């Protein structure tokens, strides 16, 4: 180790983080010089073979500096304990993208980046699971989640703060295949006879009520159960978690219940044996403060009349 290194890093070798930060400062300075030479509209090219995730696009006037897509596990903050984020590993198809802002004079603040993605997820029926607001030296972080396209999608947004003028943020997205539950006709009859009801976890796209493939499979078992018990009459009740507006949730749950009922009738069951109603978030069976609880509350129940 030479004297210059000892002085520059207080008598020790630089850590990997220090090297990365130094590189980022150099990169940011280079971007500023090029931008000044070519005008404020300068936009650097995206990394080769990179692209925005189809669910969430980039913040305006930014480019992709790093891109990776594979099957992986990513840690997402879902709460806090003793002032530190409490994290949960989510495994699935993972996309990691680092964006750099093109114009340091017009780049958004870390809070603007966080709020932008939070609003984007909310607009498609998703939710904010966790947020840590930016503070000095820390760009903050937010965890978002949405069910769409038959998948549960987790999003981690982390604005990054460097001493260089040009700032960046990292976007990590994991797509998880939604849990599928298909119960047999015998199981349905057993639960209805023993408990008077059965909770079915039929997957719907966020804000939608059209039955998907696993829902159609469940309906076929319901039809089989009702055909084997001709005197049985059931009420079909839709329920949601408490994410979103109560009135909208109630309307959505009723549409889902009616969608299930229509499919049962199409399977050959007399509509007079059925009824459909939606209760939205009014009858939770678990704590809505946790994702596990919200998942249990999103259900369709068959209730024996």
Which domains can be identified in the chain, with CATH numbers? Answer: 3-177 (no CATH), 185-304 (3.30.1330.60)
For residue 151 the two structure tokens come to 């998948």
Residue 299: DSSP 8-state = E
Tell me the C-alpha distance between 280 and 70, whole Å: 37
Packed helices 185-195 and 213-228: angle between N→C axes, nearest 10 degrees: 60
Predicted pLDDT at 21: 52
Predicted pLDDT at 6: 35
- pTM (predicted TM-score): 0.54
Question: Residue with structure tokens 């539950």?
Answer: 181
Tell me the C-alpha distance between 215 and 197, whole Å: 18
8 Å CB contact between 253 and 238: yes
Predicted pLDDT at 30: 39
The 3 state secondary structure assigned to 125-167 is: CCEEEEEECCECCECCEEEEEEEECCEEEEEEEEEECCCCCCC
Q: Which residues of the chain have pLDDT under 70?
A: 1-42, 178-182
Predicted pLDDT at 170: 96
Tell me if residue 229 falls in helix, strand or coil.
coil
Give the strand pairing for 151-160 and 168-177: antiparallel
Predicted pLDDT at 32: 36
> Minimal CA–CA distance to 162: which of 9, 29, 61, 5?
29
Predicted pLDDT at 205: 80
> Looking only at Cα atoms, what is the longest distance across the chain?
91
8 Å CB contact between 277 and 254: yes
> Minimal CA–CA distance to 256: which of 226, 291, 212?
212
Predicted pLDDT at 180: 61
Predicted pLDDT at 147: 82
8 Å CB contact between 281 and 242: yes
């Amino acid at each position: 180790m030479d004297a210059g290194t000892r002085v520059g890093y207080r008598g020790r070798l630089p850590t990997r983080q220090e090297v990365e930060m130094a590189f980022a400062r150099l990169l940011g300075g280079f971007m500023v010089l090029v931008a000044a030479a070519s005008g404020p509209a300068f936009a650097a090219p995206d990394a080769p073979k990179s692209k925005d995730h189809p669910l969430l696009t980039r913040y305006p006037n930014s480019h992709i500096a790093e891109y990776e897509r594979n099957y992986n596990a990513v840690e997402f903050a879902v709460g806090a304990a003793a002032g530190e984020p409490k994290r949960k590993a989510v495994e699935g198809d993972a996309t990691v993208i680092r964006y750099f802002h093109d114009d340091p004079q017009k780049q958004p603040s870390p809070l603007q980046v966080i709020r932008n993605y939070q609003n984007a997820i909310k607009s498609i029926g998703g939710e904010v699971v966790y947020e840590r607001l930016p503070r000095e030296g820390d760009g903050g972080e937010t965890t978002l989640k949405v069910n769409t396209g038959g998948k549960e999608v987790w999003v981690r947004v982390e604005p990054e703060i460097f001493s260089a003028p040009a700032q960046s943020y990292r976007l990590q997205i994991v797509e998880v295949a939604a849990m599928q539950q298909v119960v047999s006709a015998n199981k349905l009859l057993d639960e209805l006879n023993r408990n008077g009801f059965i909770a079915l976890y039929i997957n719907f796209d966020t804000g939608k009520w059209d039955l998907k493939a696993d829902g159609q499979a469940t309906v076929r078992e319901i039809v089989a159960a009702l055909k084997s018990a001709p005197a049985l009459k059931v009420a079909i009740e839709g329920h949601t978690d408490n994410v979103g507006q109560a009135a909208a949730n109630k309307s959505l749950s009723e549409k889902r219940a009616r969608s299930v009922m229509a499919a049962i009738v199409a399977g050959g069951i007399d509509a007079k044996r059925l009824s459909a109603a939606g209760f939205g978030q009014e009858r939770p069976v678990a704590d809505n403060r946790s994702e596990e609880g919200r998942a249990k509350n999103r259900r369709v129940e068959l209730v024996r009349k």
